[in-house]
Amino acid sequence: MASKTELPLNTLQPYTSVILIVLAALLLGFTNGPWYFAAGLLPALVSFFGTRELLGKVRKANEQKSFLDEQLIQSQKLAAIGELSSGIAHEINNPLAIIGQESEWGIHLLQSDELRDFKQVNDLTDSLREITRQVKRCKEITHRLLNFARKMETLLQRVDVNRLIEDMTKWVERETKQHNINIVRRFQKDLPPVVTDAPLLRQVILNLLANAAYAIQKDGAITLTTCLADHGQVEIIVTDTGSGISKENLGKIFNPFFTTKPPGKGTGLGLSICHRIIDKLGGHISVTSELGHGTTFTIRLPQKGEV
């Protein structure tokens, strides 16, 4: 039985050549003196550091491959759900339209002179109005489903990312100030323009800002960062000091219909649409979070916009 201090075979295997060189150096040292040992040890050190650097590169490549595999699986999942959602939305829209029309007709009848003196007329009117409100909400959901499934036609143009984010920030800042939520800008001044679809990118930024404000509720901060990342990519980072996301929910955050909001507060389609948009624009979006310590969304977009 192996002891706890023993290294596994797969850990030692890459360093086999190093071990053999050290043993040979020891043998030379015993037979010919310490200078031979030192001369034999030098290639062992070179081999050791070279092997360690190579293993680090292999490990990094494997991690990157794993991340890309996850992104591919997520994209395929969203595409499949998009096709399914389109059919469901079309089927649901017709009965919803009939229910909405009948409810409005019922409200109209209850306001007639013949039924005005009916004791429960107010209760029935309130009930029908609630049905109408819920039908409208269902219609909004089906329209979002159709938008989610619809093929996106991108219009590529040179976009000043800092200016685009600033425009969206001003849009929501009036409301966030009322809840004592401060929006911090950390824009790279010399950020190069990106060839992308401005309306689609605005939709993503606005959604992330709205989610961040909702997660904070009041008394907090949203930090917006832009910078030039590796391989000529532009990075957009949205960080909030909100409630955070639990580990078990973090892997589901981009799934359609998944939401941590209470019933009636969200459809669970916002982030899945954001993921689809960024994927369409040739970039990728990721999230890190810790429950009770806020959330960070990171977007990376190619400068050339090769969609």
Q: What's the pLDDT score for residue 127?
A: 85
pLDDT band at 111 (very low <50, low <70, confident <90, very high): confident
More confident residue, 245 or 13: 245
- Choice among 8-12, 112-116, 267-271 with the minimum mean pLDDT: 8-12
Joined together, the tokens standing for residue 59 give 């490990």
- Choice among 66-75, 95-104, 169-178, 180-189 with the minimum mean pLDDT: 66-75
Q: Which uninterrupted H or E stretch holds 187?
A: strand 181-187
Q: What's the pLDDT score for residue 2?
A: 41
First-to-last C-alpha distance (Å) of the chain: 56
More confident residue, 272 or 44: 272
Mean predicted confidence (pLDDT) in 45-65? 69
Return the residue matching tokens 């649409």. Answer: 273
pLDDT band at 5 (very low <50, low <70, confident <90, very high): very low
Q: How far is CA 302 from CA 213, 254, 282, in A?
A: 27, 21, 7
b/e map 160-172, b = 16+ CB within 10 Å: ebbebbbebbeeb
More confident residue, 79 or 135: 135
Backbone angles phi, psi at 286, to 5 degrees: -135, 165
Task: Tell me the per-residue pLDDT of 253-271, one tens digit each, with 9 for 90 and over.
Answer: 887 777 777 665 666 678 8
Average pLDDT of the chain, as a whole number: 77
Position 159 pLDDT exceeds 60: yes
